[in-house]
Structure formats: C-alpha cells, structure tokens
C-alpha cells in the first residue's frame, strides 16, 4: 500500500473519530437534567422556531440548488453534447454532496445548540460557572467536530472516488452556494429580530435585555442560532473545503508534472492533523472558579496550535514533505492568530477602542457612530497587512520549488490557517449558546447569581465571536487568493484541451492591470461586495420595519402585556413568522446578483477580465468585510460596557446612544460583513468551474 492510500485511510479515520467525539460530547450534554419547566418550555420555543426556519430555508434552497444542478449537468465541465456525460454526472453529484454536507452541518449545530442553551442556564443556577461554561462550550464543540469532520470526509470521499480536480471544485461550489444563502438568510433573520427587540424594548419602552414581555425576544434567540450557529458553521465549512480544494487542484497538477503524489499527500496529511489537534484542544477546555472564560478559550486554541505545529513538523520530517510548504502552512496559522488578536484589541471591552466609543456616547449617537467607524477603519490595516504578508511569505518560500509552487504555497498557507478550524467553530458556536442561556436565565427568573454567571460567559462569547469572525474573514482572504491560482490552473488546462496552446505551454500566468479587459473586470469586481452588502442590509431594514410594527401592535392590543400581568404572554410566533418570511424573501436576490455579475463579466471580457474581477472582488470584499465585522463587534461591546454600569449605566444618554450604535452595527457584523467572504469564495469557485466556457465564448476576448 502506497503512502497516499495510507494518508487517505488515516484522514477517513480522523474524520470518523471527530464524529465519535461529537457523539460522546452530545451524550454528556444530554445527561444534564433540566428541572426548571419554564426554562425548558422557552428552550423548546427557540428550538421549534429555529427548526421551522431551517426547514423552510432548506426547502427554498433545494429548488435553487436543483436549477444549478441542471445547469451543471448540461454545461460543466463541458457542454453535454461535446464531452463525456459521466463527467457531467459526477460533477452534479459532487455539487449536490457539497450542499448536503453543508446543510447537515448546520442542522446538527442547531439541534445541539438549542439543547445546550437550557442546560447551560440550569447549570448556572444550580451548579455554578464551571458546569455552565462546559455545557456551552461542549455544545459548541459538537458543531466544531461535525463541521470539520464532514469537510474532511467529503473531500477525501470525492478525491478517492474520482481523483479529479474539477469534480472537487463542484463539491466546493455546492458547499459555497449553501453557505452563502445560509449565512445571508440567517443574518437577515437574526438582525431583524435583534434590531426590533432593541429599538422597541430598550429605546422606546425601557425594557431590560431578554424581557419575556417583548414579543421579539424568542425570535431574537432563534436568530442567534440560525445566524451564528448554522450560518457561521456553513461559512467556515465552506472556507475549509475551498482551501483544501484550491490546494488539491494545484497539487494534482504539480504531481502530474512530477509523476508523484507528494503535494496531494501534504494537503490531506496537514488537514487531518489539524482536525486531530482540534480534538485535543477541545479536551483541554476546563474553567475553574475565578478564571476568565476568555482565557480558557484562548488557552485551548493555543494548545491546538502547538499540537498542530509539532505534529506537522514531525510528519514533514518522517514523510519527506517539503519544509518550505510546512513553513507556508505555519505562516498562515500564525497570521490567523494575529488577525484574531487584532480583532480582540478593537472589540474587547477591556481595550481602549471600546471604552473610548462608550465614553464618546455621552455626547450622543452621532459621536458613537463616528468614533466607531474611525476605529473600525483603523482595524482593517493590521488584518489586511497580515493577509498580504502571509501570501507574500508563502509565495517566496515555495517559489524556489519550481513553476506553480508559489501559488500552491499560498493555498497551503490557507490550509494552515484553517487547520484549527475545529477549535474555531467550537469557540464560535459557544457564543450564541451562552447568549441564549443568559436569555433563558432572565426569562425564567433563575436568579441574580445565574444572571451574573451567564453575563460573564456571554461577554467572553461576544469577544470570541468577534475573533472568530476576523479569523474567518482572514482565512477566506487567503483561500480566495489561492483560488486565483486554481483558476489559472483550470484556464491553462482548458486552453490545452481546446487546442489554443500546446501541452507544457501556459496561456495565463498572471494579470496585467493595464490591459483594458483586466481593468474592466477589476472595477466591476470591486463594486460587487458593496452592492451585495447594500442588498442584504436593505433586506434587514425592510424586515425590521415590519417587525417593529408588529411589536407595537401587540403592546397596544394585548391588555396587561406592557405591565407584565400574570398569565399574559406575547404572540411570539408572529415575530418568528415575520423574520422567517422576510429572510427567505430577501436572501436570494443578493446571491443571484453576485453570480450573474460573474457570468456577465466572464462572457463579455473572457478569462482575463475574470482575473481582474476576482482581484477587485477580493481586495474590496476583504476591506468591507473586516470593517463591518469589527464595527459591529465594537459597538456591541461598547453598549455592554455601558450596561455594566460605566459611563452612566443603563437608562443614561450614553446608554441610549450606545444602543443606537449597536443597532447600526448589528447588520454590519452578523449579516453583511460575514456574508461577503462567502460571496468572494462563491464567485472564485464559479469562475474556476466556468473557465473553459469563458475561454470558448466571450464577446471581446
């Protein structure tokens, strides 16, 4: 048995181990008994709302995916009347598999998160912070193990069955389209509810956070799950698959030239080790009394990183992999951690930027907005420089290995950055679980001590969520830069197949921005993320207006609701229905716009224009995504800092201004910002899949 088969078997084994660990964590979680009937009832309302949304969203997306699958069957990798029908069928099956795996990861995450929230709340009331933290974190870890296990299992399966680079792109495209709409739809839902609950509850009526009298409070908690659990899980699943596939596309091409399989082996080996390291990291998470939850989460992340670096170094020496490629992967991981720390600096309420914005809020909402925007633009620089340095170092490290290795090095840098994604997803899913737990403690009246515990856990969750968003954006940035290399590989392969160039020659080695076609694509590509963001935020805006009207109607028409009379409850389902209907109505147009823009540029300007389009899209998208995600996190934590009793505390003018800032930041950080990096990945994969058609049919090329 050769080394590649051994590594593939080991990769399958590690992915199955991840599912076993997820199952064991789930069984441990379910073993925690919930005795408070009110908390259990509210938790079931949240779970039912989340499942209703997911069921309708997935049914909606199934029709869209069916249309895309029919298009792939007819035209990709070649028009069906010109090529081998089996290639088109395998591409369709890979695409459908990508959508199913992505959807399944989201479904598992929701199922666990909506059970972990009430157990974390109950533990806070009866057992203290340690068990409450562990319930939230292990609930998130089930999602983390499921997402990365599904990713490695899917990519290994497709490669083992086909060994074809283009088919792998189909699997990744399926994951990306699902992630795009899951993140956009979940983001619209969650921010519709969040904005409406805050505007009417806090600003107009002066209700506390998570007050059960607020008709939008259950929809708000449902939104935490569909946006931050299912949506972010699908997003990171997509980024991880795309990074692996980009590296494999170039690795397969390089191995064909050398006659070996070392580059493909390296990708699978490093990815499997990353998942194993995440399993180890998850096992180290323990919170003792008096210890900061944020410190525990960061410690587990550092353990995961150290295990990954040590094991990959050992395997690189043992299996004779290139140390230059290992260096590229290590650089990517280091930059990922730096981006996370940078995000933490600008969004943590213990740091100067958040406290400065809170202080400025004393002067009114205009100063809250202005200072928040200023700091958020500043926060873009270190992250963008970090991505640029990672790409440059990876390029320089691997360029001496030969033609094509420079871009492969960048792809491996992205694989390195995403190697600990199992731990990152676990941290990210922990956030909404403890946020829900805090809401359940408030709504079920579980006591001030439990509220204090869940507030502390929620604060750590907000910080970690901001860090993981920055990490996800940075990872997507490196991934799509490497996708440029995959795109050029596909163009050159198509050019040889169509007889445009001879075998061994290269049609596309880079992009000249002075070329008018490249410049045309560059400008259009740079504009797409801005328009895409605007469409999503307008969707939130329109939907929130409808929900605010419904909340006011209920307070006006339901006697005793405002006073909190015994036995009087809001019509929670009405707000959930508004958020669901609006999200499903608004999620498709923005995604379709990005896809159609790519097709138009490709068929008008050809492969050179698409090169410019992708470059502009990457730079503009990363800038906007980082800015919006950090702005939202900064305003959110500035509001929480004021609510903790600083700068006048709750009910003060500073608090009202901070709530306005948080309301503006909500669609920034949870709808548009994180969705942009998925949009970049989708158009990059679509361009690679369509490369042969753009080469054969374009207006000006």
Could you report the per-residue pLDDT of 195-240, keeping only the tens digit for each?
888 888 777 777 777 788 889 888 988 988 888 888 878 888 888 9
Residue range 245-258, pLDDT digits in tens: 999 999 998 998 88
| Domain boundaries, position 658 | 3-696
Question: What single DSSP character describes residue 363?
Answer: G
User: Among residues of the chain, what percentage have pLDDT more than 70?
Assistant: 99
Tell me, rounded to whole angstroms, the distance of Cα 609 from its chain centroid.
Answer: 28
Residue 272: is its pLDDT beyond 90?
yes
pLDDT at 1: 60
pLDDT tens digit sequence for 92-137: 999 999 999 999 888 888 999 999 999 999 999 998 899 999 999 9
Residue 468 predicted with pLDDT over 90? no
Residues 459-489: b if buried by 16+ CB within 10 A, e if exposed: bbbbbbbbbbbbbbbbbbbbbbbbbbbbbbb
Res 463 pLDDT > 80? no
The model's pLDDT over 142-201, given as tens digits with 9 standing for 90+, comes to 999 999 999 999 999 999 999 888 899 999 999 999 988 888 888 899 889 888 888 887
Residue 447, pLDDT > 90, answer no
Q: What is the mean pLDDT of residues 605-622?
A: 94
CB 61 within 8 A of CB 184: no
CA distance 405 to 398: 6
**Domain presence at residue 299:** yes
Burial of 83 (0-12, 13-18, 19+ CB in 10 A): middle
DSSP state of 515: S
Whether residue 414 has pLDDT greater than 70: yes
Domain assignment of residue 49, yes or no: yes
Position 221 scores a pLDDT of 86
- Which pLDDT band, with edges at 50, 70 and 90, does 313 fall under? very high
Domain assignment present for residue 674? The answer is yes
pLDDT higher than threshold 70 for residue 378 = yes
Domain count for the chain, please give it: 1
Residue 466 — very low, low, confident or very high, per pLDDT cuts 50/70/90? low
Say yes or no to pLDDT of 14 above 70.
yes
Q: Is residue 352 part of a domain?
A: yes
For the chain, helix (H) and strand (E) counts, in that order, are 20, 0
428-437 pLDDT tens trace: 889 889 988 9
* Nearest partner of 406 among 294, 291, 519, 324, judged by Cα: 324
* Position 17 in a domain: yes
In a domain, 701, yes or no: no
Please confirm whether the linkage preceding 77 is cis (ω < 30° from 0): yes
Across the chain, mean pLDDT equals 90
Q: What is the pLDDT of residues 318-328, one digit of tens each?
A: 999 999 999 99
Strands (E) in 465-613, as ranges, are none
Own/partner contacts of 554-557, CB < 8 Å, gap of 24 or more, are: 554/215, 555/200, 555/205, 555/215
How far, CA to CA in Å, does 220 sit from each of 136, 193, 446, 565?
18, 5, 20, 22
**Least confidently predicted of 374-388, 487-501, 607-621:** 487-501
pTM of the predicted model over 0.85:
yes
The answer as to whether 163 is a domain residue is yes
């Amino acid at each position: 048995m050769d080394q590649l088969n051994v590594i593939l078997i080991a990769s399958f084994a590690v992915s199955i181990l991840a599912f076993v660990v997820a199952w064991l964590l789930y069984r441990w979680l379910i073993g925690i008994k919930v005795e408070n009937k009110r908390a259990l009832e509210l938790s079931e309302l949240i779970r039912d709302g989340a499942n209703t949304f997911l069921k309708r969203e997935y049914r909606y997306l199934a029709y869209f995916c069916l249309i895309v699958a029919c298009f792939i069957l007819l035209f990709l990798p070649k028009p069906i009347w010109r090529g081998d029908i089996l290639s088109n069928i395998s591409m369709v099956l890979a695409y459908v598999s990508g959508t199913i795996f992505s959807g399944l990861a989201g479904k598992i995450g929701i199922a666990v998160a909506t059970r972990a929230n009430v157990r974390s709340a109950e533990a806070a009331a009866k057992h203290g912070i340690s068990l409450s933290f562990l319930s939230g974190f292990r609930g998130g870890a089930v999602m983390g193990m499921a997402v990365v296990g599904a990713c490695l299992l899917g990519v290994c399966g497709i490669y083992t069955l086909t060994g074809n680079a283009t088919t792998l792109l189909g699997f990744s495209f399926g994951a990306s389209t699902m992630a795009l709409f899951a993140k956009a739809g979940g983001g619209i839902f969650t921010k519709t509810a969040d904005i409406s609950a805050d505007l009417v509850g806090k600003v107009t009526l002066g209700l506390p956070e998570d007050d059960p009298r607020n008709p939008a409070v259950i929809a708000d908690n449902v939104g935490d799950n569909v946006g931050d659990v299912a949506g972010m899980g699908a997003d990171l699943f997509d980024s991880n698959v795309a990074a692996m596939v980009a590296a494999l596309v170039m690795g397969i091409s390089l191995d064909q030239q050398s006659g070996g399989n070392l580059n493909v082996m390296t990708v699978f080996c490093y990815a499997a080790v990353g998942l194993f390291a995440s399993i180890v990291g998850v096992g180290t998470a323990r919170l003792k009394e008096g210890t900061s939850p944020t410190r525990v989460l960061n410690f587990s992340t550092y353990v995961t990183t150290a295990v990954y670096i040590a094991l990959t170094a050992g395997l690189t020496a043992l299996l004779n992999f290139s140390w230059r490629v290992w260096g590229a992967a290590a650089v990517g991981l280091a930059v990922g951690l730096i981006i996370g720390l940078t995000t933490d600096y600008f969004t943590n309420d213990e740091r100067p930027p958040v406290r400065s914005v809170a202080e400025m809020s004393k002067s009114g909402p205009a100063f809250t907005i202005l200072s928040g925007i200023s700091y958020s633009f500043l926060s873009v620089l270190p992250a963008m420089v970090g991505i640029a340095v990672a790409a440059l170092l990876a390029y320089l490290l691997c360029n001496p290995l030969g033609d094509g290795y420079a871009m492969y090095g960048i792809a491996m840098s992205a694989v390195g950055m995403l190697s600990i994604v199992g731990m990152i997803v676990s941290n990210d899913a922990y956030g909404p679980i403890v946020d829900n737990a805090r809401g359940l403690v408030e709504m079920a009246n579980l006591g001030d001590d439990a509220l204090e515990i869940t507030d502390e856990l929620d604060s750590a969750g907000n910080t970690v969520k901001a860090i993981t968003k920055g990490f996800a954006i940075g990872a997507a940035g490196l991934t799509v830069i490497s996708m440029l290399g995959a795109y050029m590989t596909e163009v050159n392969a198509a050019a040889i197949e169509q007889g445009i160039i001879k075998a061994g020659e290269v049609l596309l080695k880079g992009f000249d921005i002075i070329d008018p076609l490249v410049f045309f694509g560059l400008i259009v590509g740079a504009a797409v993320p801005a328009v895409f963001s605007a469409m999503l935020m307008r969707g939130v805006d329109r939907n929130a207006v409808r929900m605010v009207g419904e909340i006011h109607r209920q307070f006006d028409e339901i006697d005793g609701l405002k006073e909190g009379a015994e036995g009087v409850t809001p019509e929670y389902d009405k707000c959930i229905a508004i958020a669901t209907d609006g999200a499903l109505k608004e999620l498709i147009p923005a995604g379709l716009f990005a896809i159609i823009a790519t097709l138009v540029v490709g068929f008008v300007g050809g492969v050179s224009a698409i090169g410019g389009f992708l470059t502009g899209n990457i730079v503009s998208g990363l800038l906007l995504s980082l800015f919006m995600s950090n702005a939202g996190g900064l305003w959110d934590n500035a509001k929480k800092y004021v609510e903790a009793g600083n700068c006048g505390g709750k009910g003060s003018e500073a608090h009202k201004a901070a709530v306005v800032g948080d309301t503006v930041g909500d669609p920034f950080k949870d709808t548009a910002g994180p969705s942009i990096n998925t949009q970049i990945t989708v158009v990059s994969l679509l361009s690679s899949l369509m490369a042969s058609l753009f080469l054969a049919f374009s207006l000006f090329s």
